[in-house]
């Protein structure tokens, strides 16, 4: 019989998983789950007990697609989210400029043109009128589109004769002049230059952001980090930052790496092997198109509200195949961003080639899989490819998604159809694109902002997205199974029994990671 030293019985009103109610208690020993069941059956003399009255214990919540450095920047740098109009954007710009050194670049995030009264992004000369004395780069909240002022173009050596890069585009006016708009790979031509002139995020800023995630009920994330060009300008070297804080991580982090080439990817994997027990290399991540909001997701037919474009296909087989092979050889996964139906199809073509070589399908992921045909959903199911989905997109896109896609909105975010076809799914936020709360994600998977209600998930399936689905995607054992890490979350409601609005507004009562209760900062953050 095992000694009870190092053991504790955690008791709530009930233990709820996507499979149902398993009891009201979890027996924890040395950081792992020993048993789940009813407290009366698990109690023993001398066994320590922690009681959470009024709480429902669920598997630790997770996020399968998260940008930690982008989140840190959104919390600590110029955040334009929630601006009502361009005047408010410019007020925030002036304020930020006034608190920084003269000439220092300004980098802003979360600019939402669809939420502005003008329904458009600012132009280069409009930004010049506010901050002509310094380079300015403002990212649309999707991260795939930005606008720059004249000083930013000058700093990057970009003039009117610049040629569009492969996979990117510079916006131009009727006379051929640069408007300031940057799409896809064109963003990095400016961002890579300005990033070196902005002090990167401090380790303490990133750790503070990650501690907020624990307060939101999270015990693990799948973090996307770059080794070279910053995904978010001015944050610093993302991989270096993650490795610097590895020994202090407040939750488990599985890293997908955006690498320059296969050797760069392997070096990143080797560095993570010795960085810290809560950090693991998960594989490679790359892009094959853009976003629906920026009209850069690659579609088979033109955008309904802009017939001049079908988006931007960034799929490069000659680059992606060697990266994928190296990631798999390293024991990692392959995760490719594909939002439009054309991009999804091209990724599945690549995955079909990999599958023919005997690749384990649970190592193949499509990030977003937003617009999908029936045929491609069938292919995903046949191959066993995981769809890493972000239900919260529906909450922010509901006001304009139908105008972008027309009738194709019926083929967008097809959670119920994917589930019925047997496609494995994992839930995430793509934070800082969306706020990181898994409870918000679950609620959105159920109510969908009213868009195509037939694709809504049942409450237990929504819970599975952010628990079992995330665990599977990061190759962890089934949550709360015997021998798994004792990572769980305690809520003031049962996420399966309440309506989506109540779920979204639920409170986190406690979080346990590696069998230890965590200190939670319960102060409501200004931006979760």
| Structure token digits, residue 236 | 């610093």
Short-list 392, 428, 377, CA closest to 222: 428
CA atoms within 13 A on the CB side of 7: 18
> pLDDT tens digit string along 184-240?
999 999 999 998 888 889 999 999 999 999 999 999 999 999 997 767 788 889 999
> Does pLDDT of 445 surpass 90?
yes
Sheet strands (E) in 127-230: 136-140, 145-148, 168-172, 178-184, 218-226
Residues 6+ apart with CB under 8 A from 157: 193
pLDDT digits (tens, 9 = 90+) for 327-339: 999 999 999 999 9
Q: What's the average model confidence in pLDDT over 379-396? A: 97
At residue 1, does pLDDT exceed 50?
Answer: no
* pLDDT attached to residue 527: 64
Instruction: Tell me the backbone φ, ψ of residue 491, rounded to 5 degrees.
Output: -115, 160
Provide the token pair at 95: 């304020």
What is the rounded distance in angstroms from the CA atom of residue 377 to the CA atom of residue 383? 10
Q: Which helix (H) or strand (E) holds 473?
A: helix 468-473
The radius of gyration of the chain from alpha carbons, rounded to an integer in Å, stands at 23
Residue 129, C-beta contacts closer than 8 angstroms, at least 6 positions apart: none
CA angle 159, 165, 168 (to 5 degrees): 105
Peptide bond into 86 cis (omega under 30): no
Q: Is the pLDDT of residue 52 over 90?
A: yes
Output the average pLDDT for the chain: 95
Q: How many CB atoms lie within 10 A of CB 263?
A: 11
- CA separation (Å) from 460 to 26, 437, 446? 20, 17, 10
Q: Are 338 and 346 in contact (CB under 8 A)?
A: yes
CB of 137 within 8 A of CB of 108? yes
The answer to whether 441 touches 62, Cβ cutoff 8 Å, is: no
What percent of the chain clears pLDDT 90, i.e. is strictly above it?
93
Q: Identify the CA nearest to 110 among candidates 85, 143, 144.
A: 143
Cβ atoms of 62 and 471 closer than 8 Å: yes
Q: Is 143 exposed, middle or buried (0-12, 13-18, 19+ CB in 10 A)?
A: buried
Cα–Cα distance for residue pair 495/48, rounded to 1 Å:
28
- In this model, does residue 453 exceed pLDDT 50? yes
Tell me, what's the pLDDT at 525? Answer: 54
pTM over 0.85: yes
pLDDT at residue 526, as a whole number: 58
Greatest pairwise CA separation for the chain in angstroms: 83
Task: List residues bridging with 254 in a β-sheet.
Answer: 222, 280
Give yes or no for a contact between 289 and 340, defined as CB atoms under 8 angstroms apart.
Answer: yes
Q: What is the pLDDT of residues 255-296, one digit of tens each?
A: 999 999 999 999 999 999 989 999 999 999 999 999 999 999
What are the start-end ranges of the H helices in 23-81? Answer: 39-42, 68-76
The CATH number fitting domain 76-195, selected from 3.30.1230.10, 3.40.630.30, 3.10.310.70, 3.40.50.300: 3.10.310.70
Nearest to 284 by CA among 307, 272, 296, 266: 266
Distance in angstroms (rounded) separating the CA atoms of residues 280 and 278: 7
Whether residue 491 contacts residue 60, with contact meaning beta carbons closer than 8 Å, is answered with no
Q: Kindly report which listed range (196-205, 279-288, 375-384, 479-488) carries the lowest average pLDDT score.
A: 196-205
The domain locations on the chain are: 76-195
């Amino acid at each position: 019989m095992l000694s009870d030293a190092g053991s504790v019985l955690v008791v709530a009103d009930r233990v709820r998983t996507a499979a149902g109610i398993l009891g009201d208690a979890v027996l924890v020993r040395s950081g792992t789950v020993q048993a789940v069941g009813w407290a009366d059956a698990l109690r023993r003399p001398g066994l320590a007990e922690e009681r959470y009255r009024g709480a429902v214990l669920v598997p630790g919540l997770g996020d399968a697609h998260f940008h930690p450095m982008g989140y840190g920047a959104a919390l600590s740098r110029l955040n334009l989210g929630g601006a009502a109009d361009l005047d408010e954007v410019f007020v925030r710009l002036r304020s930020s400029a006034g608190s920084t050194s003269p000439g220092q670049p300004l980098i802003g995030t979360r600019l939402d043109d669809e939420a502005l009264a003008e329904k458009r992004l600012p132009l280069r000369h409009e930004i010049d009128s506010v901050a002509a004395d310094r380079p300015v780069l403002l990212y649309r909240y999707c991260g795939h589109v930005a606008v720059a002022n004249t000083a930013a173009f000058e700093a990057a050596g970009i003039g009117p004769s610049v040629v569009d890069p492969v996979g990117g585009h510079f916006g131009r006016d009727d006379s051929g002049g640069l408007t300031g708009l940057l799409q896809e790979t064109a963003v990095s031509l400016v961002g890579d230059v300005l990033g070196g002139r902005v002090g990167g995020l401090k380790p303490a800023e990133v750790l503070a952001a990650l501690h907020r995630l624990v307060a939101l009920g999270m015990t693990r994330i799948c973090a996307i980090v770059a080794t070279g060009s910053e995904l978010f300008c001015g944050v610093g070297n993302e991989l270096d930052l993650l490795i610097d804080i590895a020994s202090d991580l407040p939750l488990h982090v599985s890293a997908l790496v955006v690498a320059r080439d296969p050797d760069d990817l392997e070096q990143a994997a080797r560095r993570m092997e010795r960085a810290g027990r809560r950090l693991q290399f998960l594989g490679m991540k790359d892009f094959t198109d853009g976003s629906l909001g920026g009209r850069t997701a690659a579609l088979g037919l033109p955008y309904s509200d802009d017939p001049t474009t079908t988006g931007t296909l960034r799929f490069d087989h000659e680059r992606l195949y060697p990266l994928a092979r190296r990631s798999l050889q390293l024991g990692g996964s392959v995760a490719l961003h594909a939002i439009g139906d054309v991009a999804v199809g091209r990724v599945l073509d690549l995955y079909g080639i990999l599958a023919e070589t005997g690749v384990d399908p649970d190592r193949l992921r499509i990030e977003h899989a937003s617009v999908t045909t029936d045929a491609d959903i069938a292919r995903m199911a046949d191959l066993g490819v995981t769809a890493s989905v972000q239900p919260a997109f529906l909450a922010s896109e509901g006001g304009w998604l139908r105008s972008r896609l027309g009738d194709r909105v019926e083929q967008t975010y097809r959670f119920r159809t994917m589930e019925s076809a047997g496609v494995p799914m994992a839930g995430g936020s793509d934070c800082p694109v969306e706020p990181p709360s898994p409870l918000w994600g679950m609620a959105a998977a159920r109510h969908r902002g009213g868009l195509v209600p037939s694709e809504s998930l049942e409450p237990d399936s929504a819970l599975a997205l952010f628990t079992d689905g995330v665990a599977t995607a990061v190759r962890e054992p089934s949550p709360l199974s015997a021998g798994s890490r004792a990572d769980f979350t305690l809520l003031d409601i049962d996420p399966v029994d309440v309506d989506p609005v109540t779920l979204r507004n639920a409170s986190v009562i406690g979080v346990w990671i590696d069998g230890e209760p965590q200190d939670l900062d319960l102060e409501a953050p200004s931006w979760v």
